[in-house]
Structure 1
């Protein structure tokens, strides 16, 4: 009887958490059975080794994950983007995943420098960028500092200064937090960020960073000329008016609000996110 109850509970949780489990199973099947094997490598910068993976052929698109996660957070987007005929570049942000921390403090300008050096190593002159959370901030900074290297930007749940982050996001990402509370022990959280036993130190450093950066003024945003799609969740930790201001201030910005979504919309609301990305980048929608 206990096994039946446990099985029923797991099945109910699997259904409630959709589409995350289904998408992750699809990603694992794709990764280990398809012929799309990545080219992998590292670049060295400021004492750190920055890890990257390159999948597929075609016009490049760079995926930049959020803080305290890793490249695996794109499991709902990677297989589809490759099948749609794009060359997809994944990077583990400094201090995350398979990238080491280095000997300098973490900052968005340093993250952006790391990304540009990866592009140089691969031989990519310019690229579309899809960035989630911290990754979206990095994308905006690259659009400001090196516009010739950025074609289009999709900035998902990104803020342009610390005032845009809500202290209490209420019931945002209810399903994701339920999953995290049930399964993400401190050890698993350390695996997810890639920091292992050093996860608390990484979390503390990033929390301090989030309180002081980024510091993009309205004139900075107006100087970003790349067409930019700002995506935010209805219940995001990024204040909705802040996201609206971001889209309004950008030279070529537009905004889409995903109803019911929180900060982890790339995972919890992947179908909606992928359709928005496909339409903006003018590529085939996922089937």
Structure 2
């Protein structure tokens, strides 16, 4: 019975991701300035650039593409900012690689794209897996970071509720068959025959324990905005500890207001949170200004 419930919950998650893909790709109003591949660390990392202004980098979640994760948000952000959206190793247009996945190498790839585009520093926004990569980028490349936005993510695997970590261990390749994620991959991947290897690689990566260290998070000097759904799978006790490490959880009435911010969006899960375009954009716009 427990295994059956786990399977049903996983299919529910895939169904929600399906809805997210469809909703995100329904808006084609954004005008792309440029796109291409940056030769980084032996890979060709795909990127898209929209708009003009101060640069902001977008890092998508696991199994996602730029359009699938950011399709609704890019038109809003690109009105006033130069938006640089990146597809991480094996995702979307970026080719599959046998290179072992790690947050450190993915964060290094992000810095490599900035080097290629000749961008000294940028604001960085990461969702889910992209948020973990963004945390790692902040630790590895502090001089390249202006402000950091973390959406429904954590810098350590224990930041997720136990049932989420258990779910990662239950993922199977067949859960992703005949989904819009597979269709999106087939539409843009340089070699769509790599789908099975890509899924196997991601399924192996997802349950790996990681912890970037409280002391490293505490050293992040850039302002950080954390956005979380109230029921998005993150352990809220750990999230509060994270915010405190970043200088928050004080009484601003009795002292200085913290440079970092925490937003808990009510009635939202991990996937539905990212579909609240106007809410997310409102927080981003206010914080990044």
Which category of TM-score, normalised to the shorter sequence, fits these structures? 0.7 to 0.9
Q: Is the Cα contact below 8 Å between 1:48 and 1:103 reproduced in 2?
A: no
Counterpart of 1:159 (choices 154, 157, 160) is: 154
Pair 1:220–1:125, CA change in 2 (3 A): same
* Secondary structure class of the residue paired with 1:264: helix
Q: 1:277 deviation in Å?
A: 0.9
The answer to whether 1:102 aligns with 2:86 is no
Q: Is the Cα contact below 8 Å between 2:44 and 2:95 reproduced in 1?
A: yes
Counterpart of 2:88 (choices 84, 90, 93) is: 93
Partner of 2:15: none
The answer to whether 1:279 aligns with 2:283 is no
Q: 1:90 deviation in Å?
A: 0.7
Q: Is the Cα contact below 8 Å between 2:225 and 2:262 reproduced in 1?
A: yes
Partner of 1:246: 242
**CA offset digits 1:135-169 (Å, max 9, x no partner):** 11111111111111000011001111111223436
The answer to whether 1:259 aligns with 2:266 is yes
* Secondary structure class of the residue paired with 1:212: coil
Pair 1:214–1:198, CA change in 2 (3 A): same
Partner of 1:172: none
Q: Is the Cα contact below 8 Å between 1:18 and 1:268 reproduced in 2?
A: no
Q: 1:272 deviation in Å?
A: 1.4
> 1:67-146 to 2 correspondence within 5 Å?
67-72=62-67, 73-83=69-79, 85-146=80-141
Q: 1:268 deviation in Å?
A: 2.4
Q: Which moved more, 1:159-168 or 1:113-122?
A: 159-168
Partner of 2:6: none
Pair 1:22–1:216, CA change in 2 (3 A): closer
Tell me how far apart the structure 2 counterparts of residues 242 and 89 of structure 1 sit (CA, whole Å). Answer: 30
- Unmatched 5+ stretches in structure 2: 1-17, 165-174, 248-258
Q: Which moved more, 1:206-215 or 1:45-54?
A: 206-215
Partner of 1:188: 180
* Secondary structure class of the residue paired with 1:38: strand
Q: 1:187 deviation in Å?
A: 5.0
Residues matched between the structures, number: 246
Tell me how far apart the structure 1 counterparts of residues 184 and 20 of structure 2 sit (CA, whole Å). Answer: 19
Partner of 2:204: 208
Q: 1:248 deviation in Å?
A: 1.5
Pair 1:192–1:162, CA change in 2 (3 A): farther
- Unmatched 5+ stretches in structure 1: 1-16, 170-180, 283-287
Partner of 1:7: none
Q: Is the Cα contact below 8 Å between 2:96 and 2:198 reproduced in 1?
A: no
Question: TM-score by structure 2 length?
Answer: 0.77
Pair 1:18–1:260, CA change in 2 (3 A): farther
